[in-house]
Structure 1
């Protein structure tokens, strides 16, 4: 009896789930070493130089993480039940928007700001540097991770079956959004528009923790037999 066809989306999705988990862990670990050494933020040239280039290294795995996240969501969109593909399409659209915003943000920091710092060309850079809690970098991070949080929430309806893994995954994706929303409300009520980097740190932490939990769970589901994707079972596809 001939083997059943294999789904490229299953293999790609599994690899992306593993890559997303690993890259999130590496990014998170490196980002923890890039926190400001003192308050107020280190705009003094000698202080910034003392933290360079370590404060920028985490952006390399962060950019790779964004690419793997888009691939993961694209694979889930291909695997989604036809009746729920509108949710996966929304998730994919939001993931692409989030990745675009954050990739531009991180790429400019890594390629432009570092060179200006190295050459001591600091005139007018205050608005763009990651060290400015009221700057463009922080605002773009807030926007990007808010979009990622919405993308993760939009994936939740894809996993409507039973089973402990599916239930935990669905709850994690939903709680991620409400945790981000609560952080935004609390920080905004306490600080108004002058949020500094408090909400930025909160939203990044919530999204990265969500990926650290959801990534392995998705990898398990994408390797499970029978598959948690009814339309693939109907086609006779296996992992």
Structure 2
């Protein structure tokens, strides 16, 4: 009875976390499609033009998506059979690293960085400014996305059998490769906003929606 209740709880958490991950990843897609002014002209000009709206539009979906994906991975870990536990555990490790980076990064941007700039205290904030494409904010976002992508590569083999499972597997592999590309793109500074973010926003909600259906129909094993 206790085991049955635990399985039901895991199944419900898996369904709702994947559902919310779908919603938040679609919000992230919208955020990536909104043009951002990343033409950096210095911190003084940035302070004059600063508005917190673009910051919240981008950071809120990132933060919520990271948290919902963490619960999703934990649910997969408890729901899958023993042969997949090690892969899910590795995915969970990289997800925890990703969530720690992204949530802290986004919260700092929404709180202390925003308040300091709005109050005119801009000394030392060039490296943290959202509008600076070379800032720590964007580097940490890309690094967190790369860790998320590694987690997806570890999760991909877990999904096997049905067409829905195989679709999730290949979407995860696709996004895993995109994350690795984004990692090196961030180092080489090929562009301000990686196109991988847009492709992730398009493909990832498809996978999480399919996972929600798999949890709902108790087809995760």
More helix by share: 2
Q: Which residue of 2 aligns with 1:21?
A: 22
Alignment partner of 2:126: what SS?
coil
CA offset at residue 34 of structure 1? 5.7
Contact 1:49 1:117 in 2 (8 A): no
Residue 209, structure 1, aligned to residue 208, structure 2: no
State the Cα deviation string for residues 106-139 of structure 1 (Å, max 9, x = none). 1111101111111111112111112222221111
Taking the aligned partners of 1:168 and 1:87, their CA distance within structure 2 comes to: 18
* CA RMSD in angstroms, aligned pairs only: 2.3
Q: Which residue of 2 aligns with 1:86?
A: 86
Residue 174, structure 1, aligned to residue 173, structure 2: yes
Q: Which residue of 1 aligns with 2:217?
A: 224
Matched ranges for 1:159-170 at <5 A: 159-161=159-161, 163-170=162-169
Q: Which residue of 2 aligns with 1:195?
A: 189
Alignment partner of 2:130: what SS?
coil
Contact 1:42 1:131 in 2 (8 A): no
Alignment partner of 1:127: what SS?
helix
CA gap 1:181/1:60 in 2 versus in 1, 3 angstroms: closer
CA gap 1:48/1:201 in 2 versus in 1, 3 angstroms: farther
Alignment partner of 1:7: what SS?
helix
Q: Which residue of 2 aligns with 1:142?
A: 142
Taking the aligned partners of 1:77 and 1:173, their CA distance within structure 2 comes to: 16
Structure 2: runs of 5 or more not aligned: none
Taking the aligned partners of 1:169 and 1:121, their CA distance within structure 2 comes to: 46
How many residues of Structure 1 are paired with residues of Structure 2 in the alignment? Answer: 216
Q: Which residue of 2 aligns with 1:30?
A: 31
TM-score (norm 1): 0.81
TM-score (norm 2): 0.87
Greater Cα shift, 87-96 or 206-215: 206-215
CA gap 1:46/1:155 in 2 versus in 1, 3 angstroms: same
Contact 2:149 2:178 in 1 (8 A): no
Instruction: Look at both structures and tell me which one has the larger radius of gyration over its CA atoms.
Output: 1
CA gap 1:105/1:183 in 2 versus in 1, 3 angstroms: closer
Q: Which residue of 2 aligns with 1:235?
A: none
Contact 1:156 1:170 in 2 (8 A): yes
CA offset at residue 78 of structure 1? 0.5
CA offset at residue 47 of structure 1? 5.2
CA offset at residue 45 of structure 1? 4.2
